[in-house]
Amino acid sequence: MIGKRLATESARGVAAGFGAYGIWGLFPIYFDALRPTGPWEILANRIVWTALLCLLILGVGRDWSWLPPLLRRRTLMVGVTAAALLIGINWVVYVAAVTSGHTSDAALGYFLNPLVTVALGVVVLREHLRPLQWTAVGIGAVAGVYLAVAGGSFPFTALVLATSFALYGLVKNRVGATLPALHSLTLETLILLPIATLILVIIAVGPGLSFGTEGPVHTGLLIFSGVATAVPLLLFAASARRIPLTTVGLIQFVTPVIQLVCAVTILGETVPTARWIGFGIVWLALLVLSLDAVRRIRPRRPAAA
C-alpha cells in the first residue's frame, strides 16, 4: 500500500516536472507574440500581474500569518531580495533575446545552466566533484571557448542567463528553502514591484506604453503573464517535493530542447554551423553529467549473502 502510494506520488512529481519545464520551453512562442512590446515593459507587466495573482490567491485562502514574522528575519529578507534581483535580470535578458530573434542564445544558456550550477558548487560551496562531473565541466568550458572563437562573438546572453539562474538557485537553496513556493514568489515579486512601477512610468513618459494600444488579444496576453509566470513555478515546486533533485535535473533539459525547436521551426531563426557544433559540445558535456546523475540514483544491487 505504501509502495503504491509512493509510486503514485513519484509519477505526479514527474508529470509536474515535465509540465513546468514544458511550459518554460514554450515561452519563446508566448513572448514573441507580445511584440511590439519591449522587454522592459514585458518584465514590468510580468512582475505586476504575478504579484497581483499571488496576492489574490493568498487573500482567498486568508494566508497572511507567515508574513509579519518573516519580515523580521533580516538575513532571510536579504536573501529573498537577492533572489528577486537575480530572477529579474534573468527574465529581462531572456525576453530581450526572444523578442530580438536570438532564442537559440537563450536555449544555449539553459543548456549551460547545469554546468554553471556544478561550477558554482565548487567555487562557492567548496564541494568536491566526482570525476565525471569534472569531465563535464571541462567539456563545457571547451564549448564556451569554442563558441567565443568560432562564433565570432562572446556568448554573453547565454552566459548571463545560465549564471543568473544558477545563482538564483544557489540563493534559494541557501536562504529560501524553508519558504513555500507561493510565499517565495509573492515576496520576490513584491520586492520587484517598485522597480516595475518605475519602469512603467519611465516608458509612459518616454516612448509610451503599448499596453492597451495593440488590441484586446495583445492586452490579454500581457495580463496573462502573471499566470504564465506562477503556474510553472508552482508545478516545479510540486515536482521537487515528490522526486529526487537529480531526477528534476535530468528533466530540466526538456526546456532548452523545446526552446531550440521553437527557434528553428516556428520563429524561423537561422542557427549557424559553428553554433550547432558548439551545441554539440555542450550536449556531450550534459551527456556526461547525466550519466553521472543516473549512476548516483541507480539502486545498488543487494550484496550476496
**pLDDT tens profile 60-97:** 988 888 888 888 888 888 888 998 999 999 999 999 99
Measuring CA to CA, how many Å separate 228 from each of 42, 146, 233, 241?
Answer: 12, 35, 9, 21
What is the per-residue pLDDT for 49?
96
The whole model's pTM is what?
0.85
Q: How far apart are CA 179 and CA 70, in angstroms?
A: 10
pLDDT for res 144: 76
What is the tens place of the pLDDT at every residue in 36-59? Answer: 999 999 999 999 999 999 999 999
Q: What is the pLDDT of residue 305?
A: 39
Would you say 254 and 23 are in contact if contact means Cβ atoms under 8 Å apart? no
- Sign of the Cα torsion 90, 93, 94, 95 reads positive
Burial class (CB in 10 A: 0-12, 13-18, 19+), 181: middle
Compute the Cα dihedral for 241, 225, 47, 86 and give only its sign: positive
Q: Which residues of the chain have pLDDT under 50?
A: 300-305
